Amino acid sequence: MTRTFEEINEKLGTGKAVVLTAEELIDLVAQEGEAAAFAKVDVVTTGTFGPMCSSGAFLNFGHSDPPIRMEKLTINNVEAYGGLAAVDTYLGATQPSSDRGDNYGGAHVIEDLIAGKPITLHATGKGTDCYPLREVNRTMTLAELNQAYLYNPRNVYQNYGAAANSSERTLHTYMGTLLPELGNVTYSTAGELSPLLKDPGLRTIGMGTRIFFGGTVGYVGWEGTQNTYHQEDAPDGGTRVWGGTLALTGDMKAMDPRYVRGGTFQKYGSTLYVGAGFPIPVLDEELLHDLARPNDKLSTRVFDYSVPSRNRPDFGLVSYAQLRSGSITINGKSVPTAPLSSLSRAREIAQVLKGWLLQGKFPLTAPVVPTPKSPFGPMAD
């Protein structure tokens, strides 16, 4: 038995669809089995809220009078890119400020804008016949911008590795502070709530997929940068997947700062915490089996960040159930674990998205183009 996007959307529109979060589905399968769960459930919602450094915003400020072509510009003393048209810019989440360094960056500007706070724009240009003004200083809010939307080149990693440090010194990384001599392990994947772990074959997720993004409706814009899909057989007969990423986009003017937050990693720099949730239609029993895999059936590798190489050694596989337990064992030593992402916020996102679906406000969209599943492969024709 199979279902289609169209059939499920019809049930959503008439209020007859059954929607569960990924955690709720796992509980149902434990009680009633996969066959019974497939007969009941139409859509499963997922969620994640964590640091996603490859994020940023396209902004259009509108023209001054006389107009200017902005060639160099800062927003709250954070440099933005001036190589677009006259009053367009791209602001990267990890760009540091000139006066506050790592404590404030592009991610914080994005959060301030979404929160409705005023920002200060300073821009200069050489002056041309069509854009004669050479300098502009403006204080403005998000509502005054013509357009403002997040376009994040690489978000929602399918299965990111955990991090440890076997050296004798503390390391400050994008995985947080790693204590010496295997003093801690950090991880940043939502496990059984993680969108791309719940659809490991990326069957329902691709360009055009409608998602929860920053508190509003967003979309998958393209494959993410560094998208490198890999899979391997897991000991329990399932499939372990790695490396999938997505580019996500959405309207900042409709976003909620609860789900888009600037953050700072000590002695590393700023990052943007992004909330994303994906609805996954239960098309067949094979997909339901993947959706119902709990944390003890989902695993990642623990990498040693003390080795300054793109091919770091690892300490082997560990399940998300073990990571969430608070400690794991490495080389016979009990090592405390800590998440960089928020489980409570991920659960909240999955519940909010579930509500949108049950209210008939969120029709599902099939991918216009599937996400590629070969390493660095092009988008399919």
Spatial CA neighbour of 142 closest among 116, 121, 123? 116
Q: Rounded to whole angstroms, how far apart are CA atoms 136 and 127?
A: 12
Angle, helices 343-358 vs 22-32, to 10°: value is 80
Q: Rounded to whole angstroms, how far apart are CA atoms 155 and 196?
A: 11
Instruction: Using the structure block, give the residue that is written with the tokens 């001054």.
Output: 64
Phi, psi of 320 (to 5 degrees): -70, -25
Q: Rounded to whole angstroms, how far apart are CA atoms 365 and 381?
A: 19
Length, in residues, of the chain: 381
Long-range contacts, 372-381 (Cβ 8 Å, 24+): 372/223, 372/227, 372/229, 373/201, 373/202, 373/229, 373/244, 374/229, 375/228, 375/229, 375/230, 375/243, 376/227, 376/228, 377/229, 379/207, 379/222, 379/223
Residues 49, 342 contacting (CB under 8 angstroms) = yes
Active site residue 53: no
Name the catalytic one among 15, 16, 31, 130: 130
Q: Rounded to whole angstroms, how far apart are CA atoms 79 and 146?
A: 20
- Cβ-based neighbour number of residue 233 at 10 Å: 9
Catalytic residues: 130
